[in-house]
Structure 1
Amino acid sequence: MKYVKPLLLASAIAISFTSSASDLDKVISSSSQINETAATSQIKIDKIADSMQSRLQQFKTLNKEVEGLEVYNKQVQKQITNQLTEMAELAASMDQVSVIERQITPLMLRMIAGLEQFITLDVPFLAQERSERINKLKKMMDSADIASSEKFRRVLEAYQVEVDYGRTIEAYTQLLVVDGVEREVDFLRVGRLDLIYLTRDGKQAGVWDKKAKTFIVLPDSNISQINKGLRIARKQLAPNMISLPVQAAE
């Protein structure tokens, strides 16, 4: 009976140790599970964090795009407003053009009539060419496929041609009735001051008399200067001083 207590104590210690080991295993196992769960949770947290970061970046990008679109829309709105204003101005201009077009046609007709009258009263140089120009203008006015702006340009062009005649010197050949006989003569035009002819044989010259409205014969002493003037007009001689009969200005 002396050895019963120690044996019981040893058994109790053994049982206690066995129980503690089992509990420790349970604790270790539970700890491992907790660690695994924590690791899994951390992975989920990391994924969620990454997803949130990605979405935040997308949000920032979209926000910048929205801001850019707002600026673009404001600019486009300004352009649309300006275009609407321009369209309104164009509409008003078109209405004015219609009015101007109705007014400019009579003006062009009066200009052509005035130019024709001027040519009739002017020194009779290049009579056929100038008459044909007037006839073309009249025919043009009856044409429906030519814009009013083009018609007006051509009328002004005809006026410019007539203006240029007044400050140029020209030589040309044309038929003229001399002493009752139609002959080929050389004409010398000096602006609108003089229109002189010289027969091709160089024996007779005449000048247009504005008062008499006819050609009058010039003295033979003028023939050499007329020949010189013809050569200058044809650029066969350098420009130089010439002496020609000039009628007094009225």
Structure 2
Amino acid sequence: MKSRHFLLAFSAGMACFWSSVSGAAALEKTQQTLADAQQQAVAKQQQIDSLDSKIIADHQQYLDTLRQADLLDAYNSQLEKLITAQQQELNSTEQQLASLEQTELTVLPLLEQMQAGLRRFVEADLPFLQSEREERLQRLDNLLSRADVSLAEKYRQLLNAYQTEVEYGRTLEAYSGELIGAAGSREVNFIRLGRTALYYQTRDGQESGIWNAGSGQWDSLPDSQNVAVHKAIQLARQQVVPDLLTLPLPAITQEVQP
């Protein structure tokens, strides 16, 4: 009887032991399941956070793209206005160039006529400062033929030459130069009385002459006029105080206007 009771007790204990072991295993499995579920939840949350961040970044990029598109639209609109204004200015410039070409076709022949008239005037005038005046005429000839000089500059230079020639008619001037005659070439002093008369006198003051426009030659003056010519030369050079001149006038005068 005791052996039977012992077996029953042993069986009951073993049952409890295995029941306890089975419960612990179930608990451990449950905990592992919970741990796995928690890890999966963390991973899902990380995925959600990553997607949320990407959505925010994409939205910001979208807003930036919209702003850039607005800026490009504004820039294109401004650029279009600028291009239109430049095209209008280009059209205006082309019209002005066409008008300028037409003006040059009209004015340039006039300038050439003025230059030719000035040359004829100098050639018919008293033969004073011939080298200087010829050089001025040559510069004007070269200027009128240059394409890189504006029409206004050509006109200005031509007017300056006319003004210089006009000034000669209102001044008394003495200068040294070369006198070419039948006896050869010699250095003399010239005295110009406006455009009324032109005289010369040798360096020693012993010979004087006056230009005869009618014959185109120099006429000798009496020795009695040497003092008057010398005094005029001194007066023109401001070597003496102003005084009345008693110079002889040419028998034939030729008046020309520039």
TM-score norm. by structure 2 comes to 0.65
Cα 1:230–1:25, aligned 2, differ >3 Å: closer, same or farther?
same
Instruction: Give how far 1:91 is off.
Output: 1.9
What are the residue-to-residue correspondences of 1:38-117 with 2, within 5 Å?
38-117=41-120
Is the partner of 2:206 in helix, strand or coil? coil
CA distance in 2, matches of 1:206, 1:212: 14
Contact 2:205–2:226 (CA<8 Å) still a contact in 1?
A: no
CA distance in 2, matches of 1:162, 1:98: 26
Number of residue pairs aligned between Structure 1 and Structure 2: 236
- CA RMSD, Structure 1 to Structure 2 (Å): 4.5
Contact 1:105–1:148 (CA<8 Å) still a contact in 2?
A: no
Contact 2:232–2:245 (CA<8 Å) still a contact in 1?
A: no
The one-letter code of the counterpart of 2:147 is: A
CA distance in 1, matches of 2:104, 2:73: 45
Instruction: Give how far 1:103 is off.
Output: 0.9
Instruction: Give how far 1:72 is off.
Output: 2.7
**Structure 2 residue 148 is matched with structure 1 residue 174:** no
Contact 1:171–1:230 (CA<8 Å) still a contact in 2?
A: no
The one-letter code of the counterpart of 1:186 is: N
Instruction: Give how far 1:32 is off.
Output: 0.7
The one-letter code of the counterpart of 1:59 is: Y
CA distance in 2, matches of 1:74, 1:152: 41
* 1:163 matched residue in structure 2: 163
In structure 2, list runs of 5 or more residues that go unmatched: 250-254
Cα 1:209–1:147, aligned 2, differ >3 Å: closer, same or farther?
same
In structure 1, list runs of 5 or more residues that go unmatched: none
Contact 1:108–1:155 (CA<8 Å) still a contact in 2?
A: yes
Cα 1:194–1:153, aligned 2, differ >3 Å: closer, same or farther?
farther
69-78 or 119-128, which moves further after superposition?
119-128
Contact 1:225–1:243 (CA<8 Å) still a contact in 2?
A: no
Is the partner of 2:176 in helix, strand or coil? strand
Is the partner of 2:243 in helix, strand or coil? coil
Is the partner of 1:219 in helix, strand or coil? helix
The one-letter code of the counterpart of 1:242 is: P
Cα 1:156–1:25, aligned 2, differ >3 Å: closer, same or farther?
same
CA distance in 1, matches of 2:208, 2:158: 31
Cα 1:43–1:100, aligned 2, differ >3 Å: closer, same or farther?
same
CA distance in 2, matches of 1:173, 1:200: 11
Cα 1:204–1:25, aligned 2, differ >3 Å: closer, same or farther?
same
Structure number with greater CO (CA < 8 Å, separation at least 6) is 2
The one-letter code of the counterpart of 2:30 is: V
Is the partner of 1:58 in helix, strand or coil? helix
What are the residue-to-residue correspondences of 1:1-250 with 2, within 5 Å?
21-131=24-134, 133-134=136-137, 137=140, 146-147=146-147, 149=149, 153-154=153-154, 156-165=156-165, 166=167, 169=173, 171-175=175-179, 177=181, 184-189=187-192, 192=195, 195-205=198-208, 217=221, 219-229=225-235, 231-232=237-238, 241-243=241-243, 245=245
